[in-house]
Chain A
Amino acid sequence: MIAPPAERRHGAARLDRHIVPVALPRLLWVPAVLGFALIALPVVGLVVRSDLVRIPELVTSDGALAALELSLRTAVISTLLCLVFGGPLAAVLARSAARGLRLVRPVVLLPLVLPPVVGGLALLYTLGRTGFAGEVLHLWLGVTVPFTTAAVVLAQTFVSMPFLVVSLEGALRTAGERYETVAATLGAAPGTVFRRVTLPLVLPGLGSGLVLAFARSLGEFGATVAFAGSLQGTTRTLPLLIYQEREVDVDGAIALALVLVVVAVVVIAVARPRAAEGLR
């Protein structure tokens, strides 16, 4: 028999008040509460410090709206790029037996551990006018990437892709190949198996990967600043604007920061519970 999905079983256990939980050491509660406070309190601090009266005016300024629009637009595009390229990459990593894949995975994870600024510099010296790829693009196609909106998207995709690849590859491995084998013995060609069996089974994992990638893109700062600069309307996304405002108008920076907090909360709320809990 097939076990019900973990989250459903989990939910049922939580609802059943007759179940006696195995004792959790009480001592664990202390660091657990402190850890939660470390995450929650700064958000509270931000709200407390904000000038609630001026917020509507601050966040609807031309600069703020342009930055918010640019942020959302680039984050959506880079999330789509993560899906188009990261999805197949995860499938290959999870399913292919090709040699050398063991060396590919650490490279894919590199952006997770690399400081974003370093990633931005790496992009700059690859796709910049003097970089080996950038030179080709510039000379043959007349395309210059750095300090354009395209550069913002590339920087965001660079740092976000591993989030999607990791959660999707995990979902693919958990789902296993047993169902795919059964589908094949029922006469389904590989394309049909992928569409009707593999994809539905990994949908929660894919969802959480997309949410993570979108959130990471939205908050991207270091790689963007190094590779795309901070030009209003072109490359100045919300995080960049907040950092800049911080030096001139603290209230404005805080108001914009709250906007990002709200967007993030909405993203998590919409994606919950399936996608976010897929993180476990």
Chain B
Amino acid sequence: MSCGGTPGSELSASMWLHRRDFTLDVELDVAPGEVLAVLGPNGAGKSTMLGVLAGLLRPEQGRVRLGNRTLTDTAAGVQVPPHRRGVGLLAQQALLFPHLSALANVAFGPQAVGASRRDAERTAQALLDDVDAGELAQRKPAELSGGQAQRVALARALAPRPDLLLLDEPLSALDVDVAPAMRSLLRRVVRDDKQTAVLVTHQVLDALVLADRVIVVSGGSVVEQGPTREVLTRPRSAFAARIAGLNLIPGTACAEGLRTSDGVLVSGRRTGPVQPGEPVVAVFPPAAVAVYRAAPEGSPRNVVEVVLTALEPHGDVLRLRAGPPPGRPGWSDGLAADVTPAAVADLAAEPGSVLWFAVKAAEVMIHLAVR
């Protein structure tokens, strides 16, 4: 694995493969030292993508190049086995070898590629110190907490100095009180040390903290990509909007803003040049939505009749989830409004209630939709 040299090789990959319930068809490029986050709903093909990069899955068609090495090329019949790829993997579960101490777990990789035991253990101890687990070196995995085990697993994944590190939801199995520490540790040893990495996650926070760029995968293909901040503040797909915690209404551009498929006008501010008739999306935060029991009269330009479907706690406010009234198109499905518990009590709202969501045009951003 030491063949690649510096941790920070460029990755370019394209893959096409058919799985039971979806067809994965993606291309991705990661610059040296860059962290790419892959966001997407469950079953979108994110883990399959990592499997191809790690050499655990063979795509029907595809190429994977890392630095100046070709790891997979179906046209040329190249499929480098996992152990010769220089691609490390940190998964949801730490999967430390249960019969080895933490130190021996971390030393495993360097030893497997030929380092002497002494050198491997010296490297391992340094890495353990680096992930704040130095004092755990002699413990067996059964004697480690979930967060400790994941820190050791991170050190183990970094030990062979991989050219590319794959992070498969590395925080999702951790308790909420240890995940933040692990997240900042990942930021330090992965992002700040310029380790080229692909991070699969469904947590928008992980992407914000760790990733330079984001791609959003849905149904096996990339529906959105760009710099993290841009994708999450100006989502153009329903999934990206949902993970970013924003409301999104699709439609076509018109002079005042956006018109939905059933002719409802949504006024808002355009974020760039848009021609009338082009597909656009209106995006606004749930906190900008005011809720009424009857159709309001007043300044808000955008008023939508909805049926309340759910009430969820969200920080110290309540998030009202709405759906379309019976017989109406589904574009209002999943719209959210954040209101205080007192306001909910005043509204006497419960699932099934008919409500009116209102939002000022100034709060609504309208931008070009995907494709």
Chain A positions near chain B (C-beta within 8 angstroms): 1-2, 4-5, 8, 178-179, 181-190, 192-193, 196-197, 200-201
Contacts and interface: CB of A to CB of B under 8 A. Distances in A.
Given A2-B141, A187-B83, 16 more contacts: A1-B144, A1-B149, A5-B98, A5-B142, A182-B95, A184-B82, A184-B83, A186-B83, A186-B109, A186-B156, A186-B160, A188-B83, A190-B83, A196-B112, A201-B97, A201-B99
Contacts of A184: 81-83
Contacts of A4: 142
A274 to B, nearest CB: 13
B56 A189 contact: no
A177 B156 CA distance: 18
B356 interface: no
A182 B97 CA distance: 9
Residue of B81, B87, B112 with highest tally of chain A CB at under 10 A: B112
Contacts of A192: 112
Contact of B112 (A1, A2, A179, A188): A188
Given A1-B94, A8-B142, A183 B88 contact: no
Interface residues of B, number: 35
Nearest to A196: B108
28 contacts: A1-B145, A1-B149, A1-B173, A2-B93, A2-B95, A2-B96, A2-B142, A2-B149, A5-B98, A8-B142, A178-B93, A179-B95, A179-B97, A181-B56, A183-B112, A185-B54, A185-B82, A185-B83, A185-B88, A186-B109, A186-B112, A186-B159, A186-B160, A187-B1, A187-B112, A187-B113, A196-B108, A196-B112
B371 to A, nearest CB: 36
Residue of A2, A188, A190, A200 with highest tally of chain B CB at under 10 A: A2
Residue of B54, B82, B94, B142 with highest tally of chain A CB at under 10 A: B82
B146 interface: yes
Interface string B109-146: 10011000000000000000000000000000110111
B83 A189 contact: yes
Contacts of B96: 2
A154 B225 CA distance: 66
B95 A186 contact: no
Nearest to B110: A187
B interface secondary structure, majority:
loop
Contacts of B84: 187
Interface of B: 1, 54, 56, 81-89, 91, 93-99, 108-109, 112-113, 141-142, 144-146, 149, 156-157, 159-160, 173
A186 B86 CA distance: 8
A178 B160 CA distance: 19
B81 A2 contact: no
A182 B99 CA distance: 14
Contact of B98 (A2, A187, A189): A2
Residue of A178, A181, A187, A197 with highest tally of chain B CB at under 10 A: A187
Contacts of B142: 2, 4-5, 8
Contact of B108 (A1, A5, A178, A188): A188
Given A1-B145, A8-B142, A186-B88, A178 B83 contact: no
B112 A189 contact: yes
Contacts of A183: 97, 108, 112
B87 A185 contact: yes
A8 B142 CA distance: 10
6 closest residue pairs by CB, A with B: A186-B109, A188-B112, A1-B146, A184-B82, A187-B1, A185-B89
Contacts of A201: 97-99
A71 B146 CA distance: 51
B97 A197 contact: yes
Residue of A178, A183, A190, A193 with highest tally of chain B CB at under 10 A: A183
A182 B89 contact: yes
A32 B327 CA distance: 65
A113 B352 CA distance: 64
B160 A187 contact: yes
A188 B89 CA distance: 13
Contacts of A200: 97, 99
Contacts of B54: 185
Nearest to B88: A185
Nearest to B141: A2
Contacts of A1: 93-94, 144-146, 149, 173
Contact of A178 (B95, B99, B146): B95
Contacts of A197: 97
Contacts of A190: 83
Contacts of B149: 1-2
Nearest to B109: A186
A11 to B, nearest CB: 13
B106 to A, nearest CB: 10
Contacts of A8: 142
A196 B144 CA distance: 21
Nearest to A182: B95
A197 B104 CA distance: 12
